Chain A
Amino acid sequence: MSTAFDILWVEKYRPRSLDEIVNQEEIVNRLKTFVKNKNMPHLLFAGPAGTGKTTAAHALAHDLYGEYYRQYMLELNASDERGIGVIREKVKEFARSRTPPDIPFKIILLDEADNMTADAQQALRRLMELYSVSTRFILIANYPSKIIDPIQSRCAFFRFQPLKKDDVVARLKYIADNEGVEYDPEALETIYEISEGDMRKAINVLQAAAALGKVTVETVFKVVGMAKPKEVRQMIKTALNGDFTGARALLRKLMIEYGLSGEDIVKQIHREIFSNEIDIPEDLRILIADYIGEIHFRLVEGSDDDIQLSALLAWMSLVGRKLGVSG
């Protein structure tokens, strides 16, 4: 059957119910008992990106409330919300809303909870206590150590392991076959290696590579390269050549055409500085990283993107000119 529209494969092939989740067996089994008992404690899902934490939370809610589960679940993402005050208001509002017919609680899903400051987490803890009668929190974090102890002790802890190579490759194979995509088997292994056990990233790379035609090791690398603006590397090289004005023209392009923020760009420069593509003495990488850190700090303090990055490029041009390196 074919429909007129398509959606991204990460969405299309996401397991909807706990039964569809093939890996993380032990976790799935524990979650299924919650569904059976129609009750659960607060949960803390921790583990690397793309291991199914958010998917498991949604699947759990799906199995608890049925197909229209999203009306009984408040989805928050700590990195998108503006402070604990906003979160508090949303939780308050949600706690008042309609309760599901045969489950005595609603779910508040707080993704990327480890992005919250310790103070905000303290406030969150009070929220969890205040609304514990009518709601359950599912907190999701990459680094559980960043979650304060009083919250950890109130949650049942679930550690998600990085996905195994076989699981990822099998899933990619399933999707590729289902979509009628041609592929070299070793290309799928390359995708696994690049994505480091991150299923979401793996599927996205597969999809982008498939758009180009047959999925080969070559197209996989091509796609990964394309997803990073080539101007970043070019800008670094131009600056290290001592051409400040040229480097800054590229900076403007990155900001305007790609809409990247100062922090995005600083992070990408940092990543590039340690790549083999930039051919500079090893100790210079450290020196540059140190100054990038200083600039990053000034950005975090709220100063102007354009000025800070110009300063970084001016410094790199000076260093490049003095040491005669050309990137």
Chain B
Amino acid sequence: MNKHHKKIPWIIKYRPRTVEEVVNQEEAKRLLTTWLSAWASGKKPAKRAALLYGPPGVGKTSLVEALAREYNFELLELNASDYRSAYAIRRTVGVAAFKKALFGKGIIILLDEIDGVATREDAGGLQELLKIIPETNNPIIMTANDPWKDQLRPLRDKVLLVQFKQLSMTQVMGVLQRICEKERLECEREALRLIAQLSQGDLRAAINDLEAIAEGYGKVTLALAKAILRGREKKSDIWRTLNQVFYAKAAWMAKRAVTNSEEDYETLMAWINDNIPRKYEEPGDLYRAYDALSRASLFLSRAKFKGYWSLLSYVFDLIGPGITYARKEGSILKLRYSYPERIKLMASLREVRQIRESLAQKLASRLLVSKSTVKNDILPILQTIFRYSKDLTYPARLVLGYELTKEEVKYLAGNKAEEIIELAEKIKRTRRIPREPEREEVREAPREQKRAPKKKKQERKGKTLDMFFS
């Protein structure tokens, strides 16, 4: 390959040049064209800034660039996350807002990724922006993936909101097909379908993937696409999966998100379990979501324990679209996803269960009850004695009587544990503990039993069971 030949990435090469070429955003085009033509004719619209929002890679920036070209505006692009403080905003946006372009051309100020500005620490930057917007002499256009962040609320009232829709699989495929034709590439339709599917409506990602395959192999086959994109598929991390479930625009998208997730079912379900209340708040929505998850868990256990693996498909139906479409009443909450408490606490849970098990083991044979009786009936009594005894020597003596370990005492006594353990040690030092002969014997017995030779049946003559059943 010629080193001097500067290769242009396809996402730039095939960027829409005209408004016409931007795929599937008719409503956004209509809104923005009207708004910009007002600016162009010298009448400033009531809202002097616009906020374009929607998933990544659907053409927000491309449309602004195309419009600027069409209406002959100069485009001043600022990556908002680079200029977050009030001072930086004043120096950049503030200056541009009152600038007069050369030769009478208007200026469009494009602030990309405005959701990056609106973090709590940088509230100053947003405040500054709010001051500039009503005064600006030039149109300000901002983009965001998620405009519903709380911090963006004051901004939302002052701007024209323009929604960009997620692209469908067919639309993404159509664009890929056109690129293949222009590049004179041999492209299998099934390969394009897979790329489109994995892109989740993100055209930018799809074009990048197509280029990655074509670049290395000169053709795009399904086998190549599978081999190369598996890695990308894996990268789809848990947050992304959750986003795709909670924000899915169609049932198949949510189902695909959970089917493709690299996490195992249990982990995925633990994440969903903990994050439902971080996205939904209406009791009806919560109930429907949990009911779907609960039935999914039931199907999963049947699939696992009875080997009906075909049931897995329903698990995905329920934890994907089942969760998405559980929301019927409320709006979606903007809380960040949290790491499942369950997984965090698993270790301590395991520890408590082990302590309960070892206590049950110890006590069951002494009290002649089942372990489950110990756990449910005896341990609560012991806890009462260990926590609320007036005189702690009594629980201390029980510690010695049952040879309880420190962990076991901690479980039974809570914050009294230290005191009780100390007391027990003191008692042990001052008095000799007679060993219980019976228990010693029982411990020794099994070893002896194994060594004992088998007795012959003949020795047990005379009395047999039969005499009771004549």
Contacts and interface: CB of A to CB of B under 8 A. Distances in A.
Contacts of A41: 465, 468-469
Interface in B375-395: 375-378, 380-385, 388-390, 394-395
A221 interface: no
A244 interface: yes
Given A4-B431, A226-B388, A244 B367 contact: no
B395 to A, nearest CB: 8
Given A4-B397, A104-B460, A310-B290, A244 B283 contact: yes
Interface string A3-33: 1111110110010000000000000000000
Given A256-B345, A298-B297, A54 B369 contact: yes
Contacts, number: 228
A307 B295 CA distance: 9
A39 B283 contact: no
B402 to A, nearest CB: 7
A208 B371 contact: no
B380 A228 contact: yes
Contacts of B293: 307, 310-311
Contacts of B366: 7-8, 11
Interface in B401-459: 401-402, 411, 427-428, 430-434, 437-438, 441-442, 445-446, 448-450, 452, 454-455, 457, 459
A80 B397 contact: no
B290 A80 contact: no
B215 interface: no
Given A3-B433, A6-B398, A211-B385, A314 B390 contact: no
A94 to B, nearest CB: 8
A7 B388 contact: no
A192 interface: no
Contacts of A259: 349, 352-353, 355-356, 411
B341 interface: yes
Contacts of A177: none
Contacts of A38: 463
Contacts of B363: 8
Contacts of B389: 211-212
Contacts of B468: 41, 156
A29 to B, nearest CB: 17
B352 A4 contact: no
Contact of A80 (B266, B352, B371, B469): B371
Given A4-B400, A244-B286, A301-B302, A99 B460 contact: yes
A250 interface: no
A308 B297 contact: yes
B273 interface: yes
Contacts of B450: 97
A275 interface: no
Question: Size range of the interface on A?
Answer: 35 or more
Interface in A62-84: 67-68, 70-71, 75, 77, 79-80
A204 B345 CA distance: 32
A45 B322 CA distance: 51
A304 B382 CA distance: 29
B452 A98 contact: yes
Given A67-B438, A259-B355, A111 B269 contact: no
Interface of chain B, main secondary structure? helix
A43 B397 CA distance: 38
A200 B283 contact: no
Interface in A88-108: 96-99, 104-105
Nearest to B392: A211
A194 interface: no
A227 B294 contact: no
B381 A207 contact: yes
A31 to B, nearest CB: 14
Contacts of A75: 365, 368
A190 interface: no
A213 B390 CA distance: 7
Nearest to A303: B297
B217 interface: no
Contacts of B291: 311, 314-315
Interface in B116-146: none
B431 to A, nearest CB: 4
Contacts of A132: 464-465
Contacts of A205: 381
Given A96-B454, A242-B283, A256-B349, A314 B290 contact: yes
A117 interface: no
A295 B390 contact: no
B170 interface: no
Contacts of A5: 397-398, 400-401, 433
B300 interface: yes
Interface string B331-353: 00000000001100100110011
A132 B468 CA distance: 12
Nearest to B302: A301
B406 to A, nearest CB: 17
A278 interface: no
A306 interface: yes
B289 interface: yes
B54 interface: no
A289 interface: no
Contacts of A237: none
Nearest to A38: B463
Contact of A98 (B375, B433, B448): B448
Q: Among the interface residues A42, A105, A207, A314, which one has the most CB atoms of the partner chain B within 10 A?
A: A314
B305 interface: yes
A111 B370 contact: yes
25 contacts: A5-B433, A6-B398, A6-B400, A8-B366, A11-B367, A41-B465, A70-B445, A71-B446, A80-B372, A97-B450, A99-B460, A133-B460, A133-B465, A154-B469, A201-B377, A227-B381, A227-B383, A298-B294, A301-B298, A306-B342, A308-B294, A310-B290, A314-B286, A314-B290, A318-B284
The 7 A-B pairs at the shortest CB distance, nearest first, are namely A71-B445, A311-B294, A98-B452, A227-B380, A302-B301, A259-B352, A5-B400
